[in-house]
Structure 1
Amino acid sequence: MTGDAGVSSIDPVAVGGEGLGVQTLRPRRTLGWSIGMTIAALALPLLAAELWLMNTRESWPVIAATASVGVVLILVAWFGYRRTRASISKYGIVEHGFFGGVSTVAARDVAGVLRVQLYRANSLDTTQELFVVERTGRGAFRMRGRFWDEPTMDRVADVLGVEETVGSEPMTLAELREANPRLLYWFERRSLTR
């Protein structure tokens, strides 16, 4: 299936018999454009300033180098986005991250799925967050609402065959940090205001 929310496959992978039932989930398709446009928006003013301030005959290598770096950054971001995916089955999760890392979580280590509404920084708007929680209480896999759509998140607990808990009230990152810091990334566990 394709669409603005990305590409996902719900067909089982045929490996003798009934198959593994692997679903490959991808982030929102519009995210790729957002990343590329952000990098372009940062690089274009620098190029424009170089063109204006420098004599183009003597400084063309500097301008060409700046343009090349901008194009390389856009391509790296695009390929990082294209390789990002999560393969989920009743046996666990294999996540291929934006920066190329691969992490695996066995289904036997998964205690459940937690979904909460988190307030965005300095806003009353919220985003859906999904956490796959290990039996130790640590967050093993996370889906942020800015990157993944809700129908994709809806399938995770069903495919893993675990219970999903939905938070009743929206919360701030500080409240989540106090309630369960082990769900968060290492850089989110400390407040910058202390």
Structure 2
Amino acid sequence: MPSGTSRTETDTHVTPLPTLGRTALLSGAFSLLPVFAVVLYLARTSPAWPVVLAVEAVVAVVFVVVYIRFRLVYSRVTRTHFVKRRMLLPQVSVQRTSIDRLLLHRVYRTGSTEALTQLLGVDSLGRRVLGMNALFWSEDDIQRVVEALDVQTTVDTLPMSAAEYHRRFPVARGWYLRWPVLIGAAAAALGVLVVVVLSLESVVDAS
């Protein structure tokens, strides 16, 4: 049985790829620790060092909380519902009777020749009711969910680009790929960068 998957007589329960969370946590740690060390070193003789230390502690706590949230994510198929506990958004629960059909496609990762499985579930009106992708879930676990849902499934093994996929199936675009969210994320990242630069300037000036 694939890692991250457990099964009982009444349901199928799958969890995200465990390496994804560990890799993100380690990448963040290795990226931020040198910056934290340099900023704290520069601030050691400045009155601002408690503020710098507090900011770094808050960032570290946020990383840990996000990782814990990641570990709590799952998708589950019961006899009556498809349930997904998400990392940032509230849990969703979809009645299996409302799932009209499933669509399985192979979509290239951005800037890569690797194609990953995308699962899209729609209702009788063509509206999105569930989605899973192999960047976050294993291919085996996605297949287990498909088998457990046991509804009409269309499989297209010919890979396509993400742009073509979202053009053909606009409802497949997740909330995190919509322009307001992308613009908000970019603005937040820019704001964090400005705060870091201003903090560094204030520390250097006070030294």
Q: Say yes or no: TM over 0.5.
A: yes
| Residue in 2 that maps onto 1:166 | 155
| Selected match of 1:113 from 94, 102, 105 | 102
Distance, in Å, in 2 between the alignment partners of 1:137 and 1:189 is 19
> SS state of the match for residue 167, structure 1?
strand
Deviations 1:34-80 (A, max 9, x none): 22123323421321221342234745413421331232022111221
Structure 2 runs not aligned, ≥5 long: 183-207
Is the contact made by 1:35 and 1:77 (CA closer than 8 Å) also made in structure 2? no
| Selected match of 1:66 from 28, 35, 55 | 55
| Residue in 2 that maps onto 1:18 | none
Deviations 1:144-177 (A, max 9, x none): 1111111111112221121222113111121112
Change (3 A) 1:58 1:2: farther
| Residue in 2 that maps onto 1:131 | 120
Q: Identify the range of structure 1 (37-46 vs 136-145) with the bigger mean alpha-carbon deviation.
A: 37-46
| Residue in 1 that maps onto 2:75 | 86
> SS state of the match for residue 169, structure 1?
strand
Count how many residue pairs are aligned between Structure 1 and Structure 2: 180
Q: Identify the range of structure 1 (145-154 vs 159-168) with the bigger mean alpha-carbon deviation.
A: 159-168
| Residue in 1 that maps onto 2:66 | 77
TM-score, normalised with respect to structure 2: 0.77
> SS state of the match for residue 136, structure 2?
coil
Is the contact made by 1:40 and 1:70 (CA closer than 8 Å) also made in structure 2? no
Change (3 A) 1:188 1:180: same
Distance, in Å, in 1 between the alignment partners of 2:60 and 2:176 is 29
Is the contact made by 1:115 and 1:131 (CA closer than 8 Å) also made in structure 2? yes
| Residue in 1 that maps onto 2:19 | 30
Structure 1 runs not aligned, ≥5 long: 13-20
Is the contact made by 2:76 and 2:84 (CA closer than 8 Å) also made in structure 1? yes
| Residue in 2 that maps onto 1:185 | 174
Counterpart of 2:142, as a letter, is M
Counterpart of 2:6, as a letter, is S
Cα shift at 1:137:
1.2
Counterpart of 1:106, as a letter, is Q
Is the contact made by 1:131 and 1:143 (CA closer than 8 Å) also made in structure 2? yes
Distance, in Å, in 1 between the alignment partners of 2:157 and 2:76 is 28
Identity %: 28
TM-score, normalised with respect to structure 1: 0.81
